[in-house]
Homo-oligomer: A and B are copies of this chain.
Amino acid sequence: MSSTMNRNNTLQTMRNPLDVVVRPESVALVGITVNNPEHWTRTFLDSLVEFGFERPIFLVNPRGGEINGRKVYTSLEEVPSTIEYVISTVPAKASAGLVRQCATKGTKVVHFCTAGFSETGSKEGIEMERELVAAGRETSIRLLGPNCMGIYCPESRLAIDPSFPKEAGPVAFISQSGANVNQLVRRSALRGIRFSKAFSFGNACDLSESDILEYLAEDDATEIIAIYIEGVKDGRRFRKALEKAAAAKPVVLLKGGVTAAGARAVFGHTGALAGSEGTWDALCRQTGVIKVSSMDEIVDVLVALRFMTLPRGNRTLVVGAGGGASVMTTDQIEKNGLAVPALPHDVVEQLREFSSDAGNILRNPIDYSQDLWQPGKTVKMAGIATASSVIDLLLVFTSAGLFSSKSGSKLPEYAEMIVAAMKGCSKPAASVVELSASPEEQALMFTLFQKLVQAEFPVFFSASSAARAISTLLECNQRKQRRGRLIEEVVSKGAAYS
């Protein structure tokens, strides 16, 4: 399609509005603050510049002036060109008027960042949102928001924060809350996850969670979908969209506001009706969606989906440092749905030749504290024990604060040992590197953590969270198997090893 045709109005009208959001021909930032570079409305410009957005960007504020050498137009009318996508930070009461002005500029979609609409619960707020919707209908302009941060799409150099990763990846995120996009993208990025798109949709007065979900279900750049949702307005449609998406790729869902007080907070946040936890549990079970219950769990499940093959079962070989830690680790793993079986006699016999201490070390968990600095031994033992028919996966555990400034020099060798153990074993493998509050310890643990992330291994921050993420996927897979489908077929696409 030539760029001339692309600018043809008739064809543009037919573009999916989410295509416009994801890859706009031009963007206007309306309501951007001119004099205060620290003001939150500057985030969008900072992000577009940092990401190197290559299409026209127009700035609009009645004050006029300049921002970093870019002209600020005093009104939309003054902009000497059409504007496909508008990001608005104008006050709530000016929003409906803005939509009508946009109609004169060939605008397809307006994203309203501004809050103060139906989520306030006030008469005025509800009325203003109604007017906004009416203006959208009148002008055939589609609306994203209000009360949200909009789109992050590294491929087309759109972001809602300049510090987001610039590389794209196979995970898409749909979030009612913009703050949660920020949290999820940052936390996932640290764990090696990259995104195709992340949408925050706020009050969803027009473009909704279902529109976005249907769009992502068919998006070739998206292999895994994560959703943070507080409530839906059209439950039947959302259910169908979930079904369609979950049939095509793994879908992970976090419902915000599952407790009564949480539901009240939801209403204050995005004006949505929350629904009970039981309803959402059933919805996810029936549609084959992986339901989780915290932001950390979303990230954990994404890490497992992205960087490990689903194990055949839940029987885990635990290899880790620290005696008391092993007992606690075993408890945490079993409480979170994985099993830590005893190793059979013949495997113990095979391990015996490596052990200086015939007792402790030959059990599961294998506590290699005493051989911490003899990595070759640990790698061999992990390999032999993981190959046993009673074991489905390997979990390598490192306690917070295992390294001090004294032993920090041995960290690279230790990291290589873990990589070798995970690469060398014949079953899916994951690792746990505990966080520490102490910045010195944390810096050392982070070095280890990063080496494992760079090697594209799944790394978790606790044995509980590793076990919970993996057992959640196993349970979901069992349900799907009963229904004749295998999540694994989809999951294995993203596997770092097979």
Contact = CB atoms under 8 A, between A and B. Distances in A.
Interface stretch (A25-33, A77-85, A179-187, A420-428): A179-187
A134 interface: no
Interface string A161-185: 0010000000000011111101100
Contacts of A268: 359-360, 363
A264 interface: yes
Contact of A439 (B257, B260, B295, B439): B439
A435 interface: yes
A176 B326 CA distance: 13
Nearest to A361: B268
Contacts of A269: 323-324, 326-327, 360, 367
Contacts of A339: 261
Nearest to A338: B261
A282 B265 CA distance: 37
Nearest to A299: B437
Interface stretch (A52-60, A97-105, A114-122, A305-313): A114-122
A476 interface: no
A262 interface: yes
A404 B186 CA distance: 12
Contact of A120 (B256, B360, B365): B360
Contact of A230 (B327, B341, B399): B327
A325 B183 contact: yes
Contact of A259 (B175, B176, B257, B334): B334
A435 B400 CA distance: 13
Interface string A404-441: 10100000000000000000000000000001011100
Contacts of A257: 327, 330-331
B120 A327 contact: no
Contacts of A325: 179-180, 183
Contact of A461 (B176, B331, B437): B437
A363 B264 contact: yes
A437 to B, nearest CB: 5
Nearest to A447: B439
Interface string A305-348: 00000000000000000111111101111110001111000000
A190 interface: yes
Interface string A437-463: 111001100100100000000000100
Contacts of A360: 115, 119-120, 268-269
Please state the number of chain copies in the assembly.
2
A116 B359 CA distance: 7
B256 A327 contact: yes
A358 interface: yes
Given A262-B331, A265-B327, A443-B439, A120 B359 contact: yes
Interface in A251-306: 256-262, 264-266, 268-269, 293-295
A269 B371 CA distance: 16
Given A116-B357, A122-B358, A262 B437 contact: no
Given A330-B262, A334-B262, A341-B261, A324 B256 contact: yes
A125 interface: yes
B439 A121 contact: no
Contacts of A335: 258-259, 293
27 contacts: A116-B359, A120-B358, A163-B404, A179-B325, A180-B324, A183-B322, A183-B325, A186-B401, A186-B438, A191-B437, A256-B324, A257-B330, A259-B331, A259-B334, A260-B334, A262-B330, A264-B330, A265-B330, A265-B363, A268-B360, A268-B363, A269-B326, A269-B367, A437-B446, A437-B461, A439-B439, A439-B446
Given A261-B330, A265-B363, 5 more contacts: A122-B358, A183-B401, A259-B335, A262-B330, A293-B335
